[in-house]
Structure 1
Amino acid sequence: MIRVMVVEDEEQIRNILKKMIEKTPDCEVVSSCGNFAAAISDFIRLRPDAVFMDIDLAGESGLDCAKAITEVDPKVKIIFATAHSEYMANAFEIYAFDYLVKPFDLERIGKTLGKIKSMTSGNATGSNGTKTETGYEKLVIRGKEEINLIDTKDIIMIERSDGICRIVTGDEIFLTSTSLSSIQDKLDPDKFMRCHKSYIIRVEAVKKLEVYGRWTYTVTLKDTDETALMTSEKYNEMKQKFCGF
């Protein structure tokens, strides 16, 4: 059973959301409240698996409320349900699991909850109920004229050069001024490695290593013509961590 809390300052919308959520099998709304203080209090007391959160809580910030909730339990899934689409980038970049824009769609809500259920199935249930995860499922990358949401599972490598990061996927290359360290903080360390001061690679994408210099290797990667560099220190670390020798 997925235990859900709804935080919305308009009672009518709270009731609509509650009904829509509970139409999804194995989902229960355990709390429905309309302000920052009540949300924090109910979350600490009930520890739901997911929170549907409005951005504007009668003048209070839903973003700040969500941040406070994730500080109590970083594993909770925050789904912003709001009329304010302009906050999408900030929400995803920090802690959002999903972002729904009013008017809400029953099928869309069902898909979001279904995704949460699939992630928690097979794990122990209880007050925490959610599998511990590291890293984000999506990166929000701001370009000059657009915002891109990139599935981290699609990332092959990231290169930092001349103050710009190139994020390479199998289909596209995205450019951002965000630092390599900031991107690294959002990636699962079990899947990605900072193999060089200028490169992050997806470990399972490594196809071949070739000696490049006394202390460096060239890394050939799957699904791209791009190559990365790896230091000898990181090469030894990868052997021990991922290859068992």
Structure 2
Amino acid sequence: MKTIRTLIVDDEPLSREELRHLLSEYEDFDIVGQASSGEEGLEQALRLHPDVLFLDIEMAEMNGVELANALQQLKKVPHIVFATAYPDYAVKAFRLEAVDYLLKPFDEVQLVETIKRIRKIESGNGGENQPAQKANHLGKLAVENEETIIYLSPQNIDYCFREGKETKICVGEHCYSSKQTLKELEEKLADYSFFRTHKGFLVNLKRVSALVPWLNGAYQLKIQGGRVEIPVSRNYVKELRHRLEL
């Protein structure tokens, strides 16, 4: 897996720490530096040669937009992800060809999409070569069942959930046990139609048959051919509907 050198530039220590903590969940993202100002960010970018900058906009002296403009002069221009509490800079971010635009407080679902976008770009040609690679790779998920290793096709998996210290991977009425975390499974299944509906559930969207209102703005998903109802946190409903609906 390619290591993605990452620099965080933000004048708020708590925001830097929160983003550092969230990014630490992704093994391929190596945080090579943190800067508390635009000037320090420019100095570190020149010295550390990051692949991507997570960049605040509202900073004293040199702000994030000015820093992003300055970085365009580099021979190898890092990818920019603006991370800000202000939505008003989206047009400027678009003009600077930013990879993404994250709003504070950070939404983990949106960050997952940002991570996928960065990985796709870093894989080369915006991912144009990926279909050919997939054609030569069976893409089976290995799970241990007693003394046998079972290989599951991702398309056949209905959902995964966390139970105690184990993760359950469910196909139809049968659920296999795995020592992999949901985060690890989410990364392995990133090229398939899986979505984190809740901190404890990962769902194959191609197996969803209905979305049912539940309590306090939350929903439940129904899976094709099954009686299981899977919780959907209200923070994830908007992105879920965007992924599901035409």
Q: Please, what TM-score do these two structures have when normalized by structure 1? A: 0.47
Q: Which has the higher contact order (CA 8 A, sep 6+)?
A: 1
Q: Please, what TM-score do these two structures have when normalized by structure 2? A: 0.47
